[in-house]
Amino acid sequence: MDPASWLLLCRSVRFGDTDAAGVMHFHQLLRWCHEAYEESLERFGIAAAEVFPAAATGSGTPVPAVALPIVHCQADFRSPLVCGDPLAIQLDPRRLDPGSFEVSYRFHCGEREAARGLTRHLAIEAASRRRCPLPEAINRWLEASAVGRGIQPL
């Protein structure tokens, strides 16, 4: 499978993403980052239910057992985006240590770089909130993404 298929995504700027200055409102970019991370896992073949909690099951054990909360995020805004702008989003996920990883995101509108984002995630046991190793599915995605690092199209 070509890493481009799960590390290069598309979306359009929507009207509700803009503010009265006429351009994308800054914090929407962080929402786009997380949605791109979710879509990347989905395209790679990892079901949302393996990584993200859903409705309480009442079973006594949180599902999934490991949560991946964001401990840091940041974004840089290079040029304004208006409603309808088509975006190419390039993801670059990297393992930081056995229990954490980060994803950087580059947003292009045509040739123009519009923004960069970054999210850093920590693995914790959902029940105890103690640090733990990354789930196996995330490790597979990180490793396959690292293989593709030499051939980034942007």
Nearer to its own copies, 62 or 146 (CB): 62
Question: Which amino acid makes up residue 147?
Answer: V
Is residue 110 near its own copies by the rule CB under 8 A?
no
Q: Which two tokens stand for residue 84?
A: 């309808």
DSSP secondary structure string for all residues of 27-42? THHHHHHHHHHHHHHH
Residue of the chain from 1, 5, 72, 110 that contacts its own copies (CB under 8 A): 72
Q: Assess 140 for contact with its own copies (CB under 8 A).
A: no
19 in catalytic set: yes
Amino acid found at 101: F
- The interaxial angle of helices 136-147 and 28-44, nearest 10 deg, is 90
Nearer to its own copies, 8 or 46 (CB): 46
Nearer to its own copies by C-beta: 56 or 147? 56
The structure tokens listed for 50 are 């393996």
Cβ atoms within 10 Å of 12's Cβ, excluding its own: 12
Catalytic member of 17, 19, 85, 97: 19
Angle at 53 between CA 95 and CA 104, to 5 degrees: 30
- Quick one: which of 1, 10, 45, 47 contacts its own copies (CB under 8 A)? 47
Which amino acid, 116? R
Exactly one of 84, 98, 110, 133 binds its own copies (CB under 8 A); that residue is: 84
Q: Which of the residues are catalytic? A: 19
Binding site for its own copies (CB under 8 A): 12, 14-16, 18-23, 25-27, 30-31, 34-35, 38-39, 42, 47-49, 52-56, 58-62, 67, 69-77, 80, 82-84, 119, 126-127, 129
